[in-house]
Amino acid sequence: MAHEQTVPPLDGAVITGVRLVDWLTRPERGAFQSVSLPGHLLHVVTDGRVELRASGVREVFGPGESVWYYENETVNGRILDAPWTFYTVNFTAPALAPPPPGERVKPVGPLLIERMESLLQTWRDATAPPTLRHLRLHALLLEVLLEVLPEQAHAHRADEPTLLWWTIEEKLRADLSQPIDLRLLQRLCGRSQRSIIRACHLAVGTSPIKRIRQLRLSYARGLVQLSKLPMTDIALQVGYGRVQEFSRDYHKHLGVTPSEDRKAGPRYRQLELPDNAE
């Protein structure tokens, strides 16, 4: 006799492909420009320190930190301490939302660095049976993602019924300044409003319009905390025609004003400040 189903089934794969795993070093200080690969791109730094600018925000990070890029971002960098060495993995996961700009950098421990080394050795092992190599790669990468995935994404569903919404969201992220309503969402995917609303509720537990507001404010928070752009410019970039409306929604949903949030900075930097920091 079958047991009664008490939890929903899991349909579809989170990771649909692993394109590259490598360990890279840049031996000299200086500026450079690059473009992140399609899909998700995760770096884990082991040595050196670098300043990177992408999607309007500036980050400085070094050993024991990871950084997550998404979909062909132009990156302008400057190596501050050389050599700069890091593990990198490029993978496709259409139903996995990337971190917002203010949370793309995250401190990691020695265990995650060991897993990145295991991931690299598995990638390079051309003698392993194909199925075994495939399973090991995906298992190791999933363990890595468990460590670096932002907390707010833990409750998101990343399965086949939600893929419609994640496909729409990927397109929306390219330009959050445009007017967005359900008619635009229909044009982006060719599906009914009812299907779109259902997929969004399954994926993130809220309506499309509320999710779009979350995306706009998450992206705005990265610009507030990690750039020097005026608040009016930030408001326009995320689809607010009036800075007063932007400030009101920002405070309502994040609990602080944009100015207060800029002064505080991102959470990972707050955690790293020593007691006697100025």
Torsion sign (Cα): 228, 232, 236, 239: positive
Q: Report yes or no on 10 lying in a domain.
A: no
Q: Report yes or no on 42 lying in a domain.
A: yes
In the chain, the number of structural domains is 2
On whether both 138 and 166 belong to a single domain, the answer is: no
Q: Which helix (H) or strand (E) holds 75?
A: strand 74-92
pLDDT at site 247: 96
Q: Which residues pair with 26 in a beta bridge?
A: 84
Q: Report yes or no on 12 lying in a domain.
A: no
225 pLDDT above the threshold of 70 = yes
On whether both 139 and 167 belong to a single domain, the answer is: no
On whether both 63 and 146 belong to a single domain, the answer is: yes
| pLDDT per residue as tens digits for the range 49-108 | 999 888 778 889 999 999 999 887 888 899 999 999 999 999 999 888 888 877 889 999
pLDDT at site 2: 53
Q: What is the DSSP letter of 111?
A: H
| pLDDT per residue as tens digits for the range 34-47 | 877 789 999 999 99
On whether both 202 and 115 belong to a single domain, the answer is: no
Between 265 and 164, the higher pLDDT residue: 164
pLDDT at site 44: 97
Among residues 98, 125, 153, the one where a domain terminates is 153
**The 3-state secondary structure of 89-101, one letter per residue:** EEEECCCCCCCCH
Q: Domain containing 253 — which CATH number?
A: 1.10.10.60
On whether both 188 and 260 belong to a single domain, the answer is: yes
| pLDDT per residue as tens digits for the range 122-158 | 999 999 999 999 999 999 999 999 999 988 888 888 8
* Of 140, 152, 142, 272, residue with least CA distance to 211: 152
119 pLDDT above the threshold of 90 = yes
Q: Report yes or no on 245 lying in a domain.
A: yes
Among residues 119, 153, 187, the one where a domain terminates is 153
Q: What percent of the chain has pLDDT over 70?
A: 93
| pLDDT per residue as tens digits for the range 264-274 | 877 655 444 33
Confidence of residue 216 (pLDDT cuts 50, 70, 90): very high
* Of 153, 150, 167, 170, residue with least CA distance to 68: 150
Among residues 153, 180, 213, the one where a domain terminates is 153
On whether both 76 and 120 belong to a single domain, the answer is: yes
pLDDT at site 26: 93
Torsion sign (Cα): 14, 18, 20, 21: positive
Average pLDDT, the chain: 89
Neighbours of 252 (CB within 10 A): 10
On whether both 65 and 85 belong to a single domain, the answer is: yes
Q: Report yes or no on 31 lying in a domain.
A: yes
3-state secondary structure (DSSP) of residue 157: coil
On whether both 241 and 140 belong to a single domain, the answer is: no
pLDDT at site 272: 42
pTM of the complete model: 0.82
Cα distance between residue 145 and residue 132, in whole Å: 20
Q: Report yes or no on 74 lying in a domain.
A: yes
On whether both 137 and 215 belong to a single domain, the answer is: no
Q: Report yes or no on 176 lying in a domain.
A: yes
On whether both 183 and 143 belong to a single domain, the answer is: no
Range of the domain at 105: 17-153
Q: Domain containing 86 — which CATH number?
A: 2.60.120.280
Confidence of residue 277 (pLDDT cuts 50, 70, 90): very low
On whether both 175 and 258 belong to a single domain, the answer is: yes
On whether both 172 and 231 belong to a single domain, the answer is: yes
4 pLDDT above the threshold of 60 = no
Helix-helix angle 208-226:182-189, to 10 degrees: 90
